[in-house]
Every structure is written in C-alpha cells, then in structure tokens.
C-alpha cells in the first residue's frame, strides 16, 4: 500500500546534538513538507520541497535543515541551534496541480529533549 | 498574509446530536482549496472533507458536510449524528491554487463527544 513512513516514532535529543527525522513516501508525489505541532497550536510549516534538489523555508525554519536528493525522501535535521525542539513533527506529501491537491500525512515523530 | 482562524478552541456534543465547527480565512486569492482534517488521539492526520472554491455546491462526505460562504470567507464543518469516534482535534486548512502548492492551517478545535 502507498503511504508516508516516518521514523522513528519517538526520538530523544541531548544538549548540543543534531538529530535527523526520516520521511519516505511511495506515493510518487512531487511535493513534500515538514510541519511542527506544539500543544494547543496548529501546524507550523518548517520546510517544503516542490521538486528534487529544491526546497524552501517555511515560517519556522531557523534551527532546522533539510535535503531532497530523491523524490521519495525528505529528511529533517534538528540542529543544536534549535533551542526548543520538543514537539510533534509531521511529514506530508502532495501531488502538484489542480484537481488532485490534498495533503497526505505520516504518523509523526515525537521529539523530546533529555 | 494568508491566515486561517478557528475561533472555538474546544467544543462538545452529545452522541447522536449535530455540531458545527467554525473556520474563517483571509486571502486575496480567488481560486483555492479548503480542507477539514481530523486528528484523533493517535495523532494521525486524516482528511475529512475538501472543497474547491470555484464550486458553489457544498461538499458532503456521509455525516460530514460543509457550509462554504466564499464572500464571507467562511468554511464551517457540520457533523451529524455524532459518534464517539468523532472525538478529535479538527483542523481547517487552506491551499491557494497559484502560490506554490502551500497549505495553511488553523489552530484547531478539540471536539469532545459525550455519551
């Protein structure tokens, strides 16, 4: 079955450490997204990518980095510069174009600071 | 700026009754999509319903329907015959057709279903 796989489900980060969240999709979608969700808040866009080897910053990109070397994969690195990384992270993908636009989501990664 | 506002942080409904969740959005675009997503305690985001702005007819999916008022920039979700499994966070989202395939989300409404 097609879908989006996020791993790990839970992740712990030590002070000064970089951690990488994995996101893989087999839906053949061009566009992929990373959102951050904090309690009581909506989804805030960190980064998004419309095509391979191209990505744009969202509203809260500081302290995060991404790469898009393959269509299927869009990993997110939470760097030590992100001082408040504890949150639920959602990866999503979408086809581009009219008539077929909707977001498909992975099951999320809960990141906590040790 | 394109924003989505959900003014009801929490709502509750008796089982089998009807509830309406509100959503307004601000945009200068004329062509866009609107969505309602459900996030149950599992935290998996599920698409409930989608509306295309150029269609005047309100979208319906079984017990879920919307009231789309384009001039008022309003997009409410009506849940009929509420069931215990409808308890979740509900997010309204907006996606303009012509600006880069982006999606903008509201802050969500937490729905409790009372048995």
pLDDT in tens, B49-85: 999 998 889 999 999 999 999 999 999 999 999 999 9
Residues paired with B66 in a beta bridge: B77
What pLDDT score was predicted for residue A15? 84
Tell me how far the alpha carbon of residue B82 is from its chain's centroid.
15
Size of interface A-B (CB pairs under 8 A): 52
Q: Which two tokens stand for residue B94?
A: 């907006």
Q: Which two tokens stand for residue B80?
A: 């009929």
Kindly list the residues from chain A whose CB atom is less than 8 angstroms away from the CB atom of residue B91: 42-43
Q: Which two tokens stand for residue B4?
A: 């989505």
Please state, as a whole number, how many other Cβ atoms lie within 10 Å of the Cβ of residue A43.
27
Across the interface, whether the CB atoms of B44 and A103 are under 8 A apart is answered no
Closest-CA residue of chain A to B54 = A99
What pLDDT score was predicted for residue B102? 86
On whether any CB of chain A is under 8 Å from the CB of B72, the answer is no
Tell me what the mean pLDDT of segment A83-111 comes to: 90
Closest CA of chain B from A73, distance in Å: 18
Calpha distance A79→B11 (Å, rounded) = 37
* Phi, psi angle pair for A99, to nearest 5°: 85, -15
């Amino acid at each position: 079955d097609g879908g989006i796989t996020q791993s790990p489900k839970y992740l712990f980060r030590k002070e000064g450490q970089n951690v990488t969240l994995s996101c893989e999709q087999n839906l053949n979608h061009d566009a992929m997204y990373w959102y951050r969700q904090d309690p009581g808040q909506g989804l805030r866009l960190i980064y998004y990518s419309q095509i391979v080897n191209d990505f744009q910053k969202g509203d809260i990109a500081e302290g995060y980095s991404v790469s898009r070397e393959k269509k299927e994969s869009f990993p997110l690195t939470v760097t030590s510069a992100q001082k408040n990384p504890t949150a639920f992270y959602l990866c999503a993908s979408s086809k581009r174009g009219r008539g077929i636009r909707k977001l498909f989501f992975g099951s999320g990664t809960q990141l906590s600071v040790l | 700026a394109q924003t989505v506002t959900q003014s009801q942080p929490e709502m509750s409904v008796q089982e089998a009754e009807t509830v309406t969740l509100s959503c307004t959005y601000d945009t200068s675009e004329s062509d866009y999509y609107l969505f309602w997503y459900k996030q149950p305690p599992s935290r998996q985001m599920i698409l409930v319903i989608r509306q295309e702005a150029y269609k005047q007819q309100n979208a319906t999916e079984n017990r879920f329907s919307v009231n789309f008022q384009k001039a008022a920039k309003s997009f409410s979700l009506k849940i009929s015959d509420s069931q215990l499994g409808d308890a979740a966070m509900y997010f309204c989202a907006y996606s303009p057709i012509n600006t880069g395939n982006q999606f903008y989300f509201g802050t969500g409404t937490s729905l409790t279903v009372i048995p």
